[in-house]
């Protein structure tokens, strides 16, 4: 295994593009090192991105949108009050990954590019409408987060391409988001189901919504029907029931050691309701201020 | 396999070693630096027995490569006491019988010290969640949590006393 | 050895700092993997990826040719012609003609680094012929199930059972039909528990150095190094005393470190390479290929009158303990009804082999499963008859003189005292929140004595050293020091307790069976008393009086009787300071297999909240009440209570071995083998009941194991009350509980 510490994205892309064997980017390493240790993946080239200037920065742009560097650890996000105020659900999703120790290393982009259907940070980003900036041998592009994972362990990134930042839209007025996951214990488990809800209200009526589910399909997914179920409502009982039904209907899970199809499908609806209530409270409370 | 010369600082002392890039910081601390206080309980970041701080940030040293320590500040359990004088957490863990077999203790102490630096007045729930990544199979956590809460209280009182 | 009937203690019952405390909070303590030797090689083990396969050929030539590889061992490098338990142990240590479970060791490598060893493993070519496997206990007993090993059954097994049933037991008394006929309510239910792992945080590790001359040294983390010595000697064809085994500090064991897995492989590699070899298991190897506990399939039937008197009880336990005989069905059957006075009772047990790792002891081995079934039925009877679960248990509780369900009459025991303390505890009458249930259960472990040897010597300054052979797994050095201090009358700090290696003492059984504080403690007191006798003799000689006329108190010799007040007392330091010129070293020694061990009963109360929408259970409050006999160091007694409860909660809620259709273990990491984390548990209240054990000078019973027996049924009873559905299967994971809530049954 060759270990590289490029000082720029161009250098990193150059190494990745020229590599002939298995290549991995190293940010927090909380997945890469586990796979290395367990002999699941031993890269021929390991590219440590943490020496690239700016990758540890959390930046709020003048339009209120956010750019999160690819080596920003979860713990650094939870120490950024302005980001939490804008996007509590996005930060919650990141914060739920692993232990305090893992939070000292794990990153949004690592969680995304690892390609796990159960990645906790991903539904929140999808619900928020986040995109990632990508650079590669053929130039730069911007891709919606929901279009990055293509299946368990697989992404839409081409050979030599890498993510350079996560872009989260400006929060804007009267919005709120939330992420909840179900695990058997209180901590340290992989999500059995994850659900993020991001919405905006006008008074007490929901005007915009995005609902994303994790761990119930080969990739985290945006569930348009679930959003439709609550748009135009005050999140009344009927809307909540429709939301749960839409969330459950969107599930295409597997039976495995972490949960059953039956259980995941049911709990997706439960979590969608609970996350929506939190997001709604945040949006209406923000509106009231 | 080409090995890389790594220069780093452990508990304030400059150290260097040759590391295969596949070797973890935990492997390097134990096998190359001679510090065996950090333990490998799982190798997957699930048990916290290998907890150290890296540039002040609590991490699992089994999830850090040795080569990543280049130019960093590493703090381990071996650096917690001030010479022969135990850190108040260490003292309290002994007094409270907050350990049985003791294999998880170094990691829990390092993690707890990081917590109290960040949050000197944690609730029981905050302590429990902060330590969720430090598995202990002997104690049921009860005496650990009590030792941490009581140390935090003592340290706060000390600080107030110092301010007066 | 009889109870002193001492009512006042100076040191016993105090809570001093443990002697190894500083080492353990500073990282100085040396555990299994913390040993290094000059010229040391690193080992790694090749393991079967198949649940059941014939080994057709092993070609290690490419691995051996790799730079840095110094030795490779396979089954051929171990003793030939072994039989019985030794053969089983060797077969489990390294596969012979077949691999019997996912993770079964096939070959070992020693190389100049861990990375070289692991890379070389990939170059060993093993040709397997995969054959059908079975991992479930009921499936393994069914017609047509793959046979793990023909002819493994012993004479106890009745005709007509599947060859995978290798042992059978059956016993009871009374008239069952009449008993059940006299009942107002009979509950007959089936239960199932999954295998769980002890989950010690320290993986097995050792450093072996064995010469071609058959003399060797072994450093390892173990609960019993004499056991390790005997097992390794047998497997390597050594004379026992030529192998010196040193127990490292031990990072948890809970029964799982009372046997060997990698130590014989490290010794074989060292012998072949001519160098020390260090071998450390990964967590995945620990979960796949150490010794988890058995899984069980059980039927329990109990009858009760409407006023709460048990009339009859039967139980059948089918248990798998992996690909070898040894599932703890003996203990399960013996202890299932141990809490209750029963005239009509019957037990049946089956030991069944499957394609899983060879089970090892786990804290009260076999008892928790039986308690789960019996205490659940007890709860259902109380619920059905509208009776209070504690009062009803009191009505049926065994006491001194009661004939136990397994035969002997009980000596002094404390079940009634724990039940009364539970009834009177504020927890039992506290209000319950919505969707929360309260569960109560009792449990028992008989404890053990076992071969024990302790040496004690007085230092020149009058301080005392005690050498014991039971590894300190949870603070036992503090307990031994307290008992020595009490016996001799010197400060706790003046006693140093060391765990000695196998060359320094006679044989000691492991720290298992809750025996260390009882048996090593008893031997420590006896050794101290022998030394006191010698100290008194030295004083008598100096004074020119009879030794019988010397009284020992508070760490000094006093002239007594007619000589009282004639001489200034001689302190232990006075006598020790002159011992070189008064007859030489002063020591005490005691060897025994003490049989006066006393069993410990416990009663637990737990409140569990169940989320009705997700089936997720949260333990809100927990109280452990247990009879310690006498708590030598109460903090570590409480610690045992709390630890046992936490492990039991894990077993009840989320821990389980998950085998796939392919017979491979699906959850071989702590991420998916879900032991309780700090945020999963509440504080665990403890009440120490003290009904002295008449078989120990200070009344010690041993407290380590009982605590894991009540939690399984207590938590199950709580969840059953919270949901209105009787939980009969462990773990009570959210999908299973949700199905019950939804009325879909228990899967």
For C332-372, write each residue's pLDDT tens digit.
Answer: 999 999 999 999 999 999 999 999 999 999 999 999 999 99
Give the 3-state secondary structure of residue B21.
Answer: coil
Q: How far apart are CA C550 and CA C572, in angstroms?
A: 13
For A141, other C-beta atoms within 10 Å of its C-beta total: 13
Q: Are A16 and A47 in contact (CB under 8 A)?
A: yes
C37 touches chain B (CB under 8 A): no
Q: Where are the alpha helices (DSSP H) in C692-733?
A: 711-723
What is the residue range of B140's domain? Answer: 88-163
Half-sphere exposure of residue C526: CA atoms within 13 angstroms, side-chain side: 21
Closest CA to C624 of C651, C609, C605: C605
Which pLDDT score, from 0 to 100, does residue A285 have? 83
Q: Mark whether B156 and B117 lie in a shared domain.
A: yes
Q: Mark whether B108 and B151 lie in a shared domain.
A: yes
C615, C679, C738 ranked by CB distance to A186: nearest: C679
Which pLDDT score, from 0 to 100, does residue C5 have? 74
Dihedral-angle region of residue A261 (phi above 0 means left; psi in -120 to 50 means alpha; beta otherwise): alpha
pLDDT interval class at C572 (50, 70, 90): very high
Summarised one tens digit per residue, pLDDT across range A129-155 is: 999 999 999 999 999 999 999 999 999
| ipTM at complex level | 0.97
C408 phi and psi, to 5 degrees? Answer: -65, 155
Does A128 reside within a domain? Answer: no
B86, B99, B137 ranked by CB distance to C675: nearest: B137
Shortest distance, CA C665 to any CA of chain A (angstroms): 10
Q: Mark whether C442 and C471 lie in a shared domain.
A: no
Instruction: Inform me whether the pLDDT recorded for A213 exceeds 70.
Output: yes
Q: Which residue of C has its CA nearest to A269?
A: C613
C673 touches chain B (CB under 8 A): no
Q: Which of C17, C22, C23, C26 to mutate to test the interface with B (most CBs of B within 10 A)?
A: C26
Q: Are C223 and C231 in contact (CB under 8 A)?
A: no
| The last residue of a domain, from among B37, B62, B79 | B79
Pairing label, strands A23-26, A45-48: parallel
Give the 3-state secondary structure of residue C73.
Answer: strand
Q: How far apart are CA C206 and CA C267, in angstroms?
A: 9
Does A112 reside within a domain? Answer: no
Report angle CA B140, B141, B147 to the nearest 5 degrees: 145
Terminal-to-terminal C-alpha distance of chain B: 59
Residue C743: is it exposed, middle or buried by C-beta count within 10 angstroms (0-12/13-18/19+)?
exposed
Q: Mark whether C241 and C288 lie in a shared domain.
A: yes
What is the residue range of A205's domain? Answer: 175-284
Bond into C731 cis (ω within 30):
yes
Q: How far apart are CA C721 and CA C436, in angstroms?
A: 8
pLDDT interval class at A95 (50, 70, 90): very high
Does C7 reside within a domain? Answer: no
Q: Answer whether C670 sits within 8 Å of B93, measured CB to CB.
A: no
Does A53 reside within a domain? Answer: no
Q: Mark whether C580 and C440 lie in a shared domain.
A: no
Comparing C746 with C417, which gets the higher pLDDT?
A: C417
Instruction: Inform me whether the pLDDT recorded for A289 exceeds 50.
Output: no
Pairing label, strands C105-111, C69-73: antiparallel
Instruction: Inform me whether the pLDDT recorded for C650 exceeds 50.
Output: yes
pLDDT interval class at B1 (50, 70, 90): low
Q: Answer whether C251 sits within 8 Å of B93, measured CB to CB.
A: no
Q: Which of B77, B101, B130, B146 to mutate to test the interface with C (most CBs of C within 10 A)?
A: B101
Q: Mark whether C250 and C136 lie in a shared domain.
A: yes
For C646, other C-beta atoms within 10 Å of its C-beta total: 27
Q: Mark whether C540 and C661 lie in a shared domain.
A: no
C679 touches chain A (CB under 8 A): yes
Q: Are C609 and C654 in contact (CB under 8 A)?
A: no
Longest dimension (CA), chain C: 87
B25 touches chain A (CB under 8 A): no
A184, A190, A262 ranked by CB distance to C733: nearest: A184
Instruction: Inform me whether the pLDDT recorded for C747 exceeds 80.
Output: no
Q: Which of C288, C613, C651, C660 to mutate to test the interface with A (most CBs of A within 10 A)?
A: C613
Give the 3-state secondary structure of residue C226.
Answer: helix
For C661, other C-beta atoms within 10 Å of its C-beta total: 8
B62 touches chain C (CB under 8 A): no
CATH number at residue B125: 1.10.150.120
Q: Mark whether C293 and C340 lie in a shared domain.
A: yes
Summarised one tens digit per residue, pLDDT across range B56-92 is: 999 999 999 999 999 999 999 999 999 999 999 999 9
CATH number at residue A211: 3.30.390.50
Q: Which residues pair with C687 in a beta bridge?
A: C625
Does A183 reside within a domain? Answer: yes
What is the residue range of C473's domain? Answer: 21-29+450-592
Does A268 reside within a domain? Answer: yes
Q: What is the DSSP string of C515-550?
A: -IIIIIHHHHHHHHHHHHHHHHHHHHHHHTS-GGGE
Q: Which residue of C has its CA nearest to B131?
A: C678
CATH number at residue C130: 3.90.1170.50
Which pLDDT score, from 0 to 100, does residue C648 have? 98
Here the tokens at position C607 are 């409140």
B67 touches chain A (CB under 8 A): yes
A187, A256, A262 ranked by CB distance to C679: nearest: A187
pLDDT interval class at A288 (50, 70, 90): very low
Q: Which residue of B has its CA nearest to A75?
A: B57
Q: Mark whether B106 and B147 lie in a shared domain.
A: yes
Q: Which residues pair with C300 in a beta bridge?
A: C189, C315
Which pLDDT score, from 0 to 100, does residue B30 have? 98
pLDDT interval class at C561 (50, 70, 90): confident
Which residues in chain C have Cβ-Cβ distances shorter than 8 Å to B103? 31, 200-202, 251-252
Q: Mark whether B92 and B74 lie in a shared domain.
A: no
Does C16 reside within a domain? Answer: no
Closest CA to A269 of A249, A288, A255: A249
Would you tell me which residues 85-144 of chain B have a C-beta closer than 8 angstroms to some C-beta of chain C? Answer: 86, 90-91, 93-97, 99-106, 109, 124-125, 127-129, 131-144
Q: Answer whether C672 sits within 8 Å of A190, measured CB to CB.
A: yes
Instruction: Inform me whether the pLDDT recorded for A287 exceeds 60.
Output: no
For A232, other C-beta atoms within 10 Å of its C-beta total: 11
CA C567 vs CA A190, C238, C544, C557: distances in Å: 75, 57, 11, 10
Count of the separate structural domains present in chain A? 1
Q: Which residue of B has its CA nearest to C197?
A: B137
Q: Mark whether C661 and C718 lie in a shared domain.
A: yes
CATH number at residue C507: 3.30.365.10
Q: What is the DSSP string of chain A?
A: -EEE--SSHHHHHHHHHH--S-EEEESS-TTHHHHHHTTS---SEEEEGGGSTTTT-EEE-TTS-EEEETT-BHHHHTT-HHHHHH-HHHHHHHHTSS-HHHHTT-BHHHHHHTT-TT-THHHHHHHHT-EEEEEETTEEEEEEGGGSEEETTEESPPTT-EEEEEEE----TTEEEEEEEE-SSSSSPPPSEEEEEEEEEETTEEEEEEEEEESSSSS-EE-HHHHHHHTTS---HHHHHHHHHHHHHT-----BTTB-HHHHHHHHHHHHHHHHHHHHHHHHHHHH-
Which pLDDT score, from 0 to 100, does residue B161 have? 66
Which residues in chain C have Cβ-Cβ distances shorter than 8 Å to B78? 26-27
Which pLDDT score, from 0 to 100, does residue C497 have? 98
pLDDT interval class at B164 (50, 70, 90): very low
Does C747 reside within a domain? Answer: no
Q: Answer whether C671 sits within 8 Å of B101, measured CB to CB.
A: no
Instruction: Say which residue the tokens 């409480």 belong to.
Output: C638
Which pLDDT score, from 0 to 100, does residue B159 have? 83
Would you tell me which residues 234-293 of chain C have a C-beta closer than 8 angstroms to some C-beta of chain A? Answer: 284
Q: Mark whether C222 and C247 lie in a shared domain.
A: yes
Which pLDDT score, from 0 to 100, does residue A232 have? 98
Count of the separate structural domains present in chain C? 3
Does A255 reside within a domain? Answer: yes
Which segments of C536-659 are extended strands (E)?
550-553, 556-559, 570-571, 587-592, 600-610, 617-627
Q: Mark whether B55 and B95 lie in a shared domain.
A: no
Q: How far apart are CA C615 and CA A116, in angstroms?
A: 25
Summarised one tens digit per residue, pLDDT across range C679-688 is: 999 999 999 9
C664 phi and psi, to 5 degrees? Answer: -100, 150
Q: Which helix (H) or strand (E) holds B149?
A: helix B142-163
Which pLDDT score, from 0 to 100, does residue A218 have? 96
Does C173 reside within a domain? Answer: yes
Q: Answer whether B90 sits within 8 Å of C29, measured CB to CB.
A: no
Closest CA to C373 of C722, C717, C743: C717
Q: Are C663 and C50 in contact (CB under 8 A)?
A: yes
B134 touches chain A (CB under 8 A): yes
CATH number at residue B20: 3.10.20.30
Instruction: Inform me whether the pLDDT recorded for C2 exceeds 90.
Output: no
Dihedral of the CA atoms B41, B44, B47, B49 (nearest 10)? Answer: 50
Q: Which of C44, C194, C614 to mutate to test the interface with A (most CBs of A within 10 A)?
A: C614
Q: Which residue of A has its CA nearest to C122?
A: A39
Q: How far apart are CA C468 and CA C451, in angstroms?
A: 12
A248 phi and psi, to 5 degrees? Answer: -65, -40
Size of interface B-C (CB pairs under 8 A): 183
Summarised one tens digit per residue, pLDDT across range C134-143 is: 999 999 999 9
Q: Mark whether B106 and B136 lie in a shared domain.
A: yes
Instruction: Inform me whether the pLDDT recorded for B163 exceeds 60.
Output: no
Terminal-to-terminal C-alpha distance of chain A: 55
Does C69 reside within a domain? Answer: yes
Which residues in chain B have Cβ-Cβ distances shorter than 8 Å to C17? 94-95
Neighbours of chain A (3+ CB pairs under 8 A): B, C
Q: Mark whether B92 and B152 lie in a shared domain.
A: yes
Shortest distance, CA A220 to any CA of chain C (angstroms): 21
Q: Answer whether A98 sits within 8 Å of B21, measured CB to CB.
A: no
Q: Answer whether A185 sits within 8 Å of C666, measured CB to CB.
A: no
Shortest distance, CA A5 to any CA of chain C (angstroms): 23
**Residues belonging to chain B:** 164
C532-558: buried (b, 16+ CB within 10 Å) or exposed (e) per residue? bebbbbbbbebbebeeebbbbeebbbb
Q: Answer whether B131 sits within 8 Å of A100, measured CB to CB.
A: yes
Q: Which residues does C621 contact at the CB level (< 8 Å), separation at least 6?
A: C427, C430, C605, C606, C607, C682, C685
A48 touches chain B (CB under 8 A): yes
Q: Mark whether B34 and B95 lie in a shared domain.
A: no
A38, A42, A101 ranked by CB distance to B58: nearest: A101
Instruction: Say which residue the tokens 């600080």 belong to.
Output: B159
C669, C670, C674 ranked by CB distance to A184: nearest: C674
DSSP 3-state percent helix, strand, coil across chain C (nearest 5): 30, 25, 45
For A40, other C-beta atoms within 10 Å of its C-beta total: 10
3-state DSSP of C440-479: EEEEEECCCCCCEEEEEEECCCCCEEEEECCCCCCCHHHH
Q: Answer whether B37 sits within 8 Å of C27, measured CB to CB.
A: yes
Count of the separate structural domains present in chain B? 2
Neighbours of chain C (3+ CB pairs under 8 A): A, B
Q: Which residue of A has its CA nearest to C650?
A: A185
Give me chain C's average pLDDT, please. Answer: 97
Q: Mark whether C215 and C76 lie in a shared domain.
A: yes
Does C67 reside within a domain? Answer: yes
Which residues in chain A have Cβ-Cβ distances shorter than 8 Å to C735? 259-260, 262-263
C283 touches chain B (CB under 8 A): yes
Summarised one tens digit per residue, pLDDT across range C370-379 is: 999 999 999 9
CA A38 vs CA A31, A34, B22, B44, C140: distances in Å: 11, 6, 12, 9, 31
| The last residue of a domain, from among C560, C592, C624 | C592
Q: Mark whether B75 and B102 lie in a shared domain.
A: no
Summarised one tens digit per residue, pLDDT across range A32-75 is: 999 999 989 999 999 999 999 999 999 999 999 999 999 999 99
Sheet with strand B57-60: strands edge to edge: B13-19, B4-10, B73-75, B51-54, B57-60
Does A10 reside within a domain? Answer: no
Does C504 reside within a domain? Answer: yes
Does C696 reside within a domain? Answer: yes
Q: Mark whether C230 and C244 lie in a shared domain.
A: yes
Q: Which residue of C has its CA nearest to A190?
A: C671
Q: Answer whether A186 sits within 8 Å of C677, measured CB to CB.
A: yes
| The last residue of a domain, from among C592, C611, C626 | C592
Q: Answer whether C647 sits within 8 Å of B46, measured CB to CB.
A: no
Q: Mark whether B71 and B13 lie in a shared domain.
A: yes
Which residues in chain B have Cβ-Cβ distances shorter than 8 Å to C638? 97, 143
CA C295 vs CA C451, C655, C695: distances in Å: 30, 12, 34
Which residues in chain B have Cβ-Cβ distances shorter than 8 Å to A26? 65, 68
Q: Are A144 and A220 in contact (CB under 8 A)?
A: no
| The last residue of a domain, from among B79, B111, B138 | B79
Q: Mark whether C228 and C297 lie in a shared domain.
A: yes
Q: Are A265 and A163 in contact (CB under 8 A)?
A: no
Q: How far apart are CA B34 and CA C36, in angstroms?
A: 10
Does A32 reside within a domain? Answer: no
Q: Mark whether C543 and C604 lie in a shared domain.
A: no
Would you tell me which residues 105-164 of chain A have a C-beta closer than 8 angstroms to some C-beta of chain B? Answer: 105
CA C691 vs CA C180, C219, C475: distances in Å: 34, 39, 22
């Amino acid at each position: 295994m060759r270990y590289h510490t490029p000082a720029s994205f161009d250098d990193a892309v150059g190494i990745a593009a020229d590599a002939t064997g298995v290549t991995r980017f190293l940010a927090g390493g909380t997945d890469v090192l586990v796979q290395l240790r367990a002999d699941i993946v031993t890269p021929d080239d390991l590219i440590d991105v943490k020496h690239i200037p700016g990758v540890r920065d959390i930046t709020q742009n003048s339009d209120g949108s956010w750019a999160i560097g690819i080596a920003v650890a979860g713990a650094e996000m939870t120490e950024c009050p302005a980001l939490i105020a804008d996007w509590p659900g996005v930060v919650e999703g990141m914060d739920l990954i692993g232990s305090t120790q893992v939070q000292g290393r794990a990153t949004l982009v690592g969680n995304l590019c690892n390609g796990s259907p159960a990645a906790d940070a991903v539904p929140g980003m999808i619900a928020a409408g986040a995109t990632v900036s990508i650079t590669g041998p053929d130039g730069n592009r911007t891709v919606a987060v929901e279009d990055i994972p293509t299946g368990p362990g697989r992404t839409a990134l081409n050979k030599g391409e890498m993510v350079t930042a996560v872009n989260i839209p400006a929060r804007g007025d009267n919005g709120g988001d939330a992420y909840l996951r179900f695990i058997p214990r209180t901590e340290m488990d992989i999500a059995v189901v994850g659900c993020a809800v991001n919405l905006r209200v006008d008074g007490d009526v929901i005007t915009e919504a995005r609902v994303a589910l994790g761990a119930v399909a080969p990739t985290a997914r945006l569930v348009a029907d679930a959003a439709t179920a609550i748009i135009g409502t005050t999140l009344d009982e009927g809307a909540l029931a429709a939301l749960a039904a839409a969330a459950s209907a969107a599930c295409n899970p597997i039976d495995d050691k972490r949960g059953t199809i039956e259980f995941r499908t049911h709990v997706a609806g439960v979590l969608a309701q609970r996350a929506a209530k939190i997001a709604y409270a945040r949006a209406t409370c923000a509106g009231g201020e | 396999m080409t090995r890389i010369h790594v220069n780093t600082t452990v508990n304030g002392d400059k150290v260097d070693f040759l590391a295969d890039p596949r070797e973890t910081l935990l492997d390097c601390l134990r096998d190359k630096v001679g510090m065996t206080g950090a333990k490998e309980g799982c190798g997957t970041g699930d048990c916290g027995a290998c907890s150290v701080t890296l540039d002040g940030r609590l991490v699992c040293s089994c999830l850090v490569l040795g080569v990543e320590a280049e130019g960093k500040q590493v703090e381990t359990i071996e650096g917690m006491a001030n010479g022969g004088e135990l850190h108040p957490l260490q003292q309290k863990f002994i007094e409270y019988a907050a350990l049985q077999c003791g294999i998880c203790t170094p990691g829990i102490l390092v993690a707890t010290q990081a917590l109290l630096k960040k949050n000197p007045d944690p609730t029981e729930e905050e302590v429990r969640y902060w330590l969720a990544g430090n598995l202990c199979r002997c104690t049921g956590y009860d005496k650990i949590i009590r030792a941490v809460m009581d140390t935090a209280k003592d340290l706060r009182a000390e600080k107030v006393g110092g301010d007066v | 050895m009889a109870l002193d009937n001492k009512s006042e203690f100076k040191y016993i019952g105090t809570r001093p700092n443990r002697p190894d405390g500083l080492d353990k909070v500073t990282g100085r303590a040396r555990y299994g993997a913390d040993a290094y030797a000059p010229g040391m090689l690193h080992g790694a083990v090749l393991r079967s990826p198949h649940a059941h396969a014939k080994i057709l050929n092993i070609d290690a030539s490419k691995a051996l040719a790799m730079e840095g590889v110094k030795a490779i061992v396979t089954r051929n490098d171990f003793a030939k012609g072994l039989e019985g338990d030794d053969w089983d142990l060797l077969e489990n240590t390294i596969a012979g003609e077949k691999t019997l479970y996912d993770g079964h060791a096939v070959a070992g490598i020693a190389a100049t680094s861990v990375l070289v060893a692991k890379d070389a493993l990939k170059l060993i070519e093993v040709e397997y012929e995969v054959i059908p496997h079975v991992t479930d206990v009921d499936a393994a007993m069914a017609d047509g199930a793959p046979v793990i090993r023909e002819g493994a059954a012993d004479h106890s097994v009745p005709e007509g059972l599947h060859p995978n049933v290798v042992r059978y037991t059956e016993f009871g008394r009374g008239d069952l039909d009449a008993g059940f006929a006299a009942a107002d309510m009979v509950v007959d239910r089936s239960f199932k528990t999954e295998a769980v792992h002890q989950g010690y945080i320290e993986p097995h590790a050792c450093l072996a150095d064995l010469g071609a001359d058959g003399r060797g040294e072994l450093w390892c983390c173990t609960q019993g190094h004499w056991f390790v010595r005997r097992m390794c000697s047998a497997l390597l064809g050594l004379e026992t005393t030529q192998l010196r085994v040193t127990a490292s500090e031990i990072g948890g064991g809970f029964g799982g470190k009372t046997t060997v897995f990698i130590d014989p492989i490290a010794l074989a590699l060292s012998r072949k390479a001519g160098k020390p070899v260090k071998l450390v298991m990964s967590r995945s190897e620990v979960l796949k290929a150490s010794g988890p506990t058995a899984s069980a399939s059980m039927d329990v039937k109990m009858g009760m009158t409407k006023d709460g008197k048990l009339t009859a009880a039967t139980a059948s336990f089918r248990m798998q303990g992996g690909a070898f005989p040894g599932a703890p069905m003996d203990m399960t059957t013996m202890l299932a009804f141990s809490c209750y006075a029963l005239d009509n009772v019957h037990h049946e047990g089956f030991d069944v082999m499957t394609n899983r790792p060879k089970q090892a002891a786990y804290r009260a081995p076999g008892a928790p499963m039986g308690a789960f079934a019996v205490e659940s039925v007890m709860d259902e009877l109380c619920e059905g008859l509208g009776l209070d679960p504690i009062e009803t248990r009191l009505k049926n509780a065994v006491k001194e003189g009661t004939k136990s369900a397994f035969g002997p009459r009980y000596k002094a025991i404390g079940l009634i005292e724990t039940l009364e303390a539970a009834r009177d505890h504020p927890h039992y009458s506290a209000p319950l929140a919505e969707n929360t249930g309260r569960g109560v259960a009792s449990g028992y472990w008989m404890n053990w004595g076992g071969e024990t040897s302790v040496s004690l010597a007085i230092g020149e300054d009058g301080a005392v050293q005690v050498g014991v052979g039971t590894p300190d797994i949870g603070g036992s050095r503090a307990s031994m020091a307290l008992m020595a201090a009490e016996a001799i009358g010197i400060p706790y700090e003046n006693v140093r307790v060391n765990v000695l290696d196998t060359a320094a003492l006679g044989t000691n059984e492991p720290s298992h069976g809750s025996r260390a504080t009882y048996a090593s403690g008893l031997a420590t007191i006896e050794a101290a008393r022998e030394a006191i006798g010698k100290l008194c003799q030295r004083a008598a000689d100096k004074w020119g009086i009879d030794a019988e006329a010397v009284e020992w108190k508070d760490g000094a010799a006093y002239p007594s009787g007619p000589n009282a007040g004639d001489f200034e007392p001689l302190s232990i330091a006075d006598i020790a300071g002159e011992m070189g010129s008064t007859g030489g070293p002063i020591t005490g020694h005691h060897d025994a297999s003490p049989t006066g061990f006393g069993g410990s009963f416990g009663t637990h109360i737990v409140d569990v909240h169940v989320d009705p929408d997700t089936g997720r259970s949260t333990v809100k409050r927990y109280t452990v009440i247990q009879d310690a006999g006498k708590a030598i160091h109460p903090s570590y007694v409480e610690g045992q209570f709390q630890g046992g409860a936490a492990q039991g909660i894990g077993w009840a809620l989320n821990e389980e071995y998950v085998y796939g259709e392919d017979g491979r273990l699906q959850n071989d990491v702590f991420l998916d083998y879900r032991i309780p984390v700090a945020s999963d548990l509440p504080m665990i209240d403890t009440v120490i009941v003290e009904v002295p054990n008449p078989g120990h000078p200070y009344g010690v019973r041993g407290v380590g194991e009982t605590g894991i027996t009540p939690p399984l049924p207590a938590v199950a009873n709580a969840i059953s009350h919270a949901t209105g559905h009787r939980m009969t299967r462990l773990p009570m994971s959210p999908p299973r509980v949700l199905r019950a809530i939804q009325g879909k049954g228990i899967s």
